[in-house]
């Protein structure tokens, strides 16, 4: 239930940022919020999956191993989660 709720929240944040961009309105904060939420949710979901599968979650026999690696890199590429938090904070304080 928690992962599903967070997934919907990440989707809505993404749609909101896209809408603002389409309307030529400022969207930096919303884009950072969407990326932060989605990348951390991806890590949370894949980590839970690995816990469920145990050691099998780390083997190349299951696609979860690749999903976990892909999820981790989303926390780093295109701005780390910490940078996204700084962007969000700076925009809130404006």
Per-residue pLDDT reduced to its tens digit, 51-74: 888 877 778 888 888 888 899 888
Nearest-angstrom CA–CA distance, 47 and 66: 12
Highest average pLDDT, of 14-18, 78-82, 89-93, comes from 14-18
The CATH number covering residue 34 comes to 1.20.140.10
- 78 belongs to the catalytic site: yes
- What does the pLDDT look like over 16-62, one tens digit per residue? 999 999 999 999 999 999 999 999 999 999 999 988 888 777 788 88
pLDDT of residue 79: 81
Give the per-residue pLDDT at 74.
83
Give the CA count within 13 Å in the CB-facing half-sphere of 66: 4
Q: Single out the catalytic residue among 6, 30, 65, 78.
A: 78
pTM, entire model: 0.82
Q: What total number of domains does the chain contain?
A: 1
Domain membership of residue 57 as a residue range: 2-93
From residue 74, how far is each of 17, 22, 26, 55 by CA, in Å?
A: 18, 24, 23, 23
Q: What is the mean pLDDT of residues 66-86?
A: 87
């Amino acid at each position: 239930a928690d992962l599903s709720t967070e997934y919907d929240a990440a989707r809505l944040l993404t749609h909101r940022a896209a809408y603002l961009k389409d309307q030529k309105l400022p969207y930096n904060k919303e884009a950072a919020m969407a990326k932060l939420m989605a990348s951390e949710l991806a890590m949370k979901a894949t980590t839970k999956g690995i816990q469920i599968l145990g050691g099998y979650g780390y083997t190349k026999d299951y696609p979860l191993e690749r999903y976990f690696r892909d999820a981790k890199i989303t926390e780093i590429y295109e701005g780390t989660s910490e940078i996204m938090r700084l962007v969000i904070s700076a925009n809130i304080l404006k």
